[in-house]
Amino acid sequence: MSKSFKVAIIGGGPTGIGVGRELIEGGVDFDLYEAEADFGGVWNSDGACGRTYESLHLISPKFNTQVPDFPMPDDYPVYPNHKLMLAYVRDYARHFGLYDHARFNAAIESLTKQGDQWRLISRAGHDQLYSLVVVCTGLHREPNFPDPAYPGQFSGEVLHTRDYKNLDQLRGKRVLVIGGGNSGCDIAADAVHGAVSVHHSTRRGYYYQPKFIAGKPTPQWMMELGSKFKTKAETLAYIEQVFKLAGCDGTDYGLPRPDYPLDGAHPVMNSLVLYHIGHGDITPKGDVTGFAGKTVSFQDGSSAEIDLIIYATGFRRDFPYLDRDQLQWKGDIPDLFLHSTPRNHDNLLFMGFINSAAGLGDGLKTQGLFVLNYARALAARSPGLAAFLAAKMTDKPDLGQEYFVKSYRHQWEADLWKLLGHMRHYRDMLAQETTLGMPLS
């Protein structure tokens, strides 16, 4: 590989670190730019990029969150808290040499095409050309709010989950949490320990998964079902029955039945929200219909006096350093082959921009090796690169996209096993004659 070929990674969260590790082991030169003072991404509680709150624990268990060849410490619990996760991410970066490539406190000012390279300028004063740029800044960037906004004006306090850090922010207040995903359920369950009242507004029915079944983390229990049943429908029916016996059927608490299959949406892993609804600590509500001062009206015709609203309504992707016109868009999100590769650029990748029902460890290695083989193919201008560039314009790999519920966040939900299988396929395609005799990983 030419010494002039160099890669830039933007973002020092788990994906950026995972990509960097494979480039190090593959002998590809790179710089990693991180806006904060240390690695961690969403797990970096001290950084503006952090999306943690005091009570936060992983929703994916230790066994499939850890990277297989770098296991979490033995004394980590089944579901580590965010502080343990941050320590793990930084230990991973340290172990594989990422600190030697990091440029911290270096938010990107601009990224512009210059010939067949990208000119990257950081707010720390870096100004450099790169042959390939890999964006790993993740999905949790700018807060997403209901659009169109609810009618009327709310005169109380408004937060987004990005702003929520601890129970003290809710103490002594009448709280409404809007949004039924994992963060919304977590914060609603948090609020019962200090708020005067807690209302929880959701637009649809959800499946709630307990964190443990038969003493095992639920994802492990589900995996161990294997081929016990003849069909997928029988397997899902059995799982629903077990969840019901575990007290996790929302219809038993007066909530609407989901209008999609059990595996048709990102899982809500929460053993507490239904418990608190059953004890009267949380009042469930449908969608909000409007505001009048501190009065919030709901779809069922009821209303409540609220002091503080927390919007748990997700995030939007944000690339402020990249001209929007540089990307092709599909609705609200960039139109990326395999959720990673622009069709109109051959030297720009976006890694980690998916949701899936699995832990970090399942995908980190595969994504990193895809980038490694892509970098090698691009540097060599190999037959493998030519084959891939043709494929990304015509192929339509099935990522399970059409199976999921139609919502904003599920535009980038993927069946992880289908996605990883396709990434391995195209990784192998890229590996054709890319290294002029060097063995590929």
d(C-alpha 377, C-alpha 250), whole Å: 50
Q: How confident is residue 138, by pLDDT bands cut at 50, 70 and 90?
A: confident
Closest CA to 288 of 300, 275, 279, 297: 297
pLDDT higher than 80, residue 433: no
- What pLDDT shows up at residue 141? 82
For strands 341-342 and 336-337, give the pairing: antiparallel
What does the alpha-carbon distance between residue 297 and residue 292 come to, in Å, rounded to a whole number? 8
Looking at the predicted structure, is the pLDDT value of residue 436 above 50?
no
Whether residue 437 has pLDDT greater than 60: no
Peptide bond into 71 cis (omega under 30): no
Helix/strand/coil for 385: helix
Question: In the predicted model, what is the mean pLDDT of the chain?
Answer: 93
130: left (phi over 0), alpha (psi -120 to 50) or beta: beta
Looking at the domain that runs over 146-311, which CATH code has it been given?
3.50.50.60
Q: Please, which residues have CB within 8 angstroms of residue 336's CB and are 6 or more apart in sequence? A: 342, 350, 353
Phi, psi of 342 (to 5 degrees): -65, 140
Q: Print the SS3 string covering 187-203.
A: HHHHHCCCCCEEEEECC
- The angle subtended at Cα 387 by Cα 372 and Cα 138, nearest 5°, is 40
SS3 at position 80: coil
Q: What is the mean pLDDT of residues 314-324?
A: 91
Residue 440 has pLDDT above 70, yes or no: no
pLDDT digit string (tens) for 370-387?
999 999 999 999 999 999
Could you give the CA distance from residue 258 to residue 406 in angstroms, rounded to a whole number? 13
Under 8 Å between Cβ of 198 and 283:
yes
| CATH class held by domain 7-142+315-430 | alpha beta
| % of the chain residues with pLDDT over 90 | 84
Question: Over the stretch 244-275, which tens digit does the pLDDT of each residue have?
Answer: 999 999 999 999 999 999 999 888 999 999 99
pLDDT at 1: 64
What is the rounded CA–CA span in Å between residue 121 and residue 107?
9
d(CA 110, CA 120): 6
Domain ranges of the chain: 7-142+315-430, 146-311
pLDDT in the model for residue 422: 93
Q: What percent of the chain has pLDDT over 70?
A: 98
pLDDT in tens, 211-243: 999 999 999 999 999 889 999 999 999 999 999
What's the average model confidence in pLDDT over 323-348? 92
What is residue 432's predicted lDDT score, i.e. its pLDDT? Answer: 87
Q: From 269, 239, 225, 262, select the one nearest 79 (Cα to Cα).
A: 269
Contact 383/370 with Cβ under 8 angstroms?
no
**What is the band of 438 on the pLDDT scale with cuts at 50, 70, 90?**
very low
- pLDDT in the model for residue 76: 98
Is the pLDDT reported for residue 26 higher than 80? yes
The reply to whether 146-311 shares the fold of 7-142+315-430 is yes
Query: Do the beta carbons of residue 357 and residue 261 sit within 8 Å?
Result: no
Which two structure tokens, joined as six digits, stand for 84? 């343990």
Indicate the pLDDT class of residue 439, thresholds 50, 70 and 90.
very low
pLDDT one-digit tens code per residue, 191-215: 999 999 999 999 999 999 999 999 9
Q: Which residue matches tokens 């990522």?
A: 399
